[in-house]
Structure formats: C-alpha cells, structure tokens
C-alpha cells in the first residue's frame, strides 16, 4: 500500500513538472512565432534596418515584461455579479482617486456615486515605453487622465 501511494505521489510530481515545462515551451514557441511574423512583415515592407532593430527590441522587452493584466484579459471576471464587480473596481480605483481633494470631498459626501464612477467611467492605461507619446499639445482630448507611477 505504501509503495502504491509513493508511486502515485511521484507520478503526480512528475506530471506537475512536465505540465509546467510544456507551458514554458508553448510560451517560447508563441514568442518565437510572433517575432518571426514581425520580421517577415518588416522585410515585406522594406523597413530600414535601424527601425527594425528598434521595433524588435521593444517587442522583445514587452514580451519579457511581467506587465499588469487588464480586466478584459481576465475572462473569469465576466462570471462575477455586477455588485461584486463594482466592489472590485472601487477597490482598484479609489486609492488613486482619493489622492485628489475633489474626489476625497466627493467620497465624503456621496460614497455610492463615487463607487458608480469607478465602475462605469474609469480604466487603467498601463505602462508606456519611455519613447511613447501619451499627450500631444493642441489635440482634442477624449478623456481625463491621472498619472500613477
């Protein structure tokens, strides 16, 4: 009996490790395929070598990056109730809003409306690369932003 339990335990450990290894292999294959597709695209469009290097470097950096997931990427969030989603979004956004005196006043006078704002009107725009432009002088804005680092 002890031998069978030991065999099952060892089989389970080997299975877990092989599953993790397969996941890493699949992820690496996907990254390699995406880079090859980018190289092919850049060659087909005769993009200069200098720009090609910049593009590939940025794509590789972003693929290595452990970036913060966006809500739309977490499919299981679609399964939660509206009330629980409102609570989640309020907990995500309120700490950033409450750094501003206007939102602190709003929260003190009507916390439920502030929670509604968090649920319906806010989103995160994540991690721009150093050379990316977020604001351009003279262009029409379609949203208000607060910068959090």
Residue range 46-71, pLDDT digits in tens: 999 999 999 998 888 878 766 677 78
Q: Output the CA torsion 99→73→28→131 (10° steps).
A: -40
Nearest partner of 54 among 65, 42, 67, 44, judged by Cα: 42
Between 31-35, 44-48, 100-104, 143-147, the lowest mean confidence (pLDDT) is in 143-147
Compute the C-alpha angle 34/45/50, nearest 5°: 80
Nearest partner of 126 among 141, 142, 145, 140, judged by Cα: 145
Q: Output the CA torsion 11→13→16→20 (10° steps).
A: -120
* pLDDT tier for residue 142 given thresholds of 50, 70 and 90: confident
pTM: 0.52
Residue that is written with structure tokens 């989640």 in the block: 88
């Amino acid at each position: 009996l002890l031998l069978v339990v030991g065999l099952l335990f060892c089989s389970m450990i080997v299975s877990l490790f092989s599953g993790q290894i397969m996941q890493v292999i699949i992820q690496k294959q996907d990254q390699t395929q995406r880079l090859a597709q980018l190289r092919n695209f850049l060659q087909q469009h005769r993009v200069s070598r200098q720009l090609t290097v910049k593009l590939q470097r940025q794509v590789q950096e972003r693929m290595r990056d452990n970036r913060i997931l966006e809500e739309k990427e977490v499919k299981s969030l679609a399964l939660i109730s509206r009330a629980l989603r409102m609570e989640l979004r309020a907990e995500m956004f309120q700490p950033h809003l409450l750094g501003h005196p206007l939102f602190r006043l709003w929260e003190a006078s009507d916390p439920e409306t502030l929670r509604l704002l968090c649920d319906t009107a806010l989103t995160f725009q994540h991690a721009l690369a150093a050379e990316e432009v977020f604001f351009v002088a003279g262009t029409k804005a379609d949203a208000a932003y607060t910068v959090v680092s």
